[in-house]
Amino acid sequence: MRRVSRLQKGLESLGVKTVEFYLGEAGIDGPTPFYILAGGKLSKSIRGVDVVHAGGVGPAGITSVFKMLQNDPPILIYDAHGDVLSEARLIGQQEALPRACLRFVEVAWLERLALLGCDAAVPCSRPLGDLLRREGFSKPIETIWNGVETGGHWSLNPPSSSKFIVSYVGGSHPWQGLDLLLDAVPMISQMRNVVIRFVGPTESDIKAILRSGIPQNVEVYPWVTDPGKLSELMESSHAFILPRKKSRVNEVAFPTKFGEFCAIGRPVISTEVGEVGAIVNREKCGVTCEPTADGLVKAIYSLENADISNLMAMSENARRVATDLLDIHSIAARYLAFLRRLTSGREARES
């Protein structure tokens, strides 16, 4: 999980000692609630530490159970990545009814345990923090955006390609908006100079939505695992696109890849959904549009026809968003300050 690993790296750069423990190391194979059976290993893993950072609803819910059984438990922090119940509903729409129901019950149970047992929460966005409050979480909350490494040496100059390449980087989860972008492809095909590049989805994913062959102005790079190749594909893009649809999932989400796009220094096209759309507008690091196929087409057209000075200004602003707002070291420093407030508060209550 990039969010947690980058946060860990940032903390270690500040002199914080961290230890990783994955639920999978408990030797249990099955749904997340089965990890209750690994009580001995899980209890031992959190004994004697000051703070447990539970990365997601599964670890937060399971660890809450064993924290309640300890005499001197650590501070347990719920790292909330999104609206897990809404995500379960969306995924369930693509599954058989029994599996969908099981998934929803499992997630609801784990979230309730997390909200009851955790001492604090670090949601990935302010809207998600507001949602946790509405769900009854009255303990300390600190918004921690998904950080990004900013030490790369990507050029801010536009790629030399004669085509204007707009890249979608991600998967085919129902909330990511792949279908919305593909709905726009027939209209984008009329822009002869524009290429839509898909990095992540497979050709079968795309054909299933288009219900036809792949147009000439569409490039598909499925499952890119080579870091060098991925870097090459991203750096050769003129702009990146986040075509997220309006939904509860997206209203509270903060995609990690937004920071990665900004770090590379390219304009970002984002639908006007959630906190990312607001940042793009405020920081002028790209363009936003309505979450419709027509909106995406208009946004791509506006960037393709923008003069080079405007594109360079957006690129510079995107790089500044990454370095000033989303750099892992500054985010880790903010998180560390939050941890110190929590531990000092506990010490004061115990003295």
pLDDT at site 35: 65
200 with 333, same domain? no
Q: 168 and 300: one domain?
A: yes
Confirm whether 288 is domain-assigned.
yes
Domain count, the chain: 2
Kindly report the number of other CB atoms within 10 A of residue 220's CB atom.
17
Spatial distance between the Cα atoms of 49 and 64, rounded to a whole number of angstroms: 15
Phi, psi of 255, deg, nearest 5: -60, 130
Is residue 155 a part of any domain in this protein?
no
Whether residue 189 lies inside any domain: the answer is yes
- Please check whether residues 127 and 215 belong to one and the same domain: no
pLDDT at 347: 56
Q: What is residue 2's predicted lDDT score, i.e. its pLDDT?
A: 80
Residues 86 and 176 in one domain: no
- Domain assignment present for 187: yes
Domain membership flag for residue 152: no
Residue 113 sits in the same domain as residue 8? yes
Q: Give the integer Cα–Cα distance in Å for 258 and 322.
A: 9
Task: Tell me the residue ranges of DSSP E strands in 56-112.
Answer: 75-79
36 and 183 both lie in a single domain: no
Q: Environment class of residue 82 by beta-carbon count within 10 Å: exposed (0-12), middle (13-18) or buried (19+)?
A: buried
Q: Within this chain, do residues 132 and 197 fall inside the same structural domain, yes or no?
A: no
Give a yes or no: residue 158 inside a domain: no
User: Could you list the residue range(s) of the whole structural domain that residue 265 is in?
Assistant: 164-325
Same domain, 12 and 91: yes
Residues 312 and 338 in one domain: no
Q: State the pLDDT at residue 29.
A: 57
Asked whether residue 126 is domain-assigned, the answer is yes
| Residue-level pLDDT at 24 | 65
Q: Is 1 helix (H, G, I), strand (E, B) or coil?
A: coil
Same structural domain, 334 and 311: no
**pTM for this prediction:** 0.88
Query: What is the Cα–Cα distance from 340 to 123, expressed in whole angstroms?
Result: 18
Residues 6+ positions from 212 with CB-CB distance below 8 Å: none
**Domain of residue 221, CATH code:** 3.40.50.2000
The verdict on 247 and 279 lying in the same domain is yes
User: Who contacts 150 (Cβ-Cβ below 8 Å, separation ≥6)?
Assistant: 263, 322, 323, 326, 327, 328
**Average pLDDT per consecutive 10 residues, the chain (351 residues; last block may be shorter):** 86 86 63 64 75 89 82 90 92 87 90 94 96 95 93 83 93 86 91 94 84 86 89 94 94 94 96 96 97 96 95 96 94 94 72 56
Does residue 49 sit in the same domain as residue 180?
no
Strand pairing class (120-121; 218-222): unpaired
pLDDT of res. 344: 85
The reply to whether 86 falls in a domain is yes
Burial class (CB in 10 A: 0-12, 13-18, 19+), 326: buried
Angle at 68 between CA 66 and CA 73, to 5 degrees: 85
Task: Please state, in angstroms and as integers, the Cα–Cα distance from residue 322 to each residue in 149, 237, 319, following that order.
Answer: 8, 17, 5
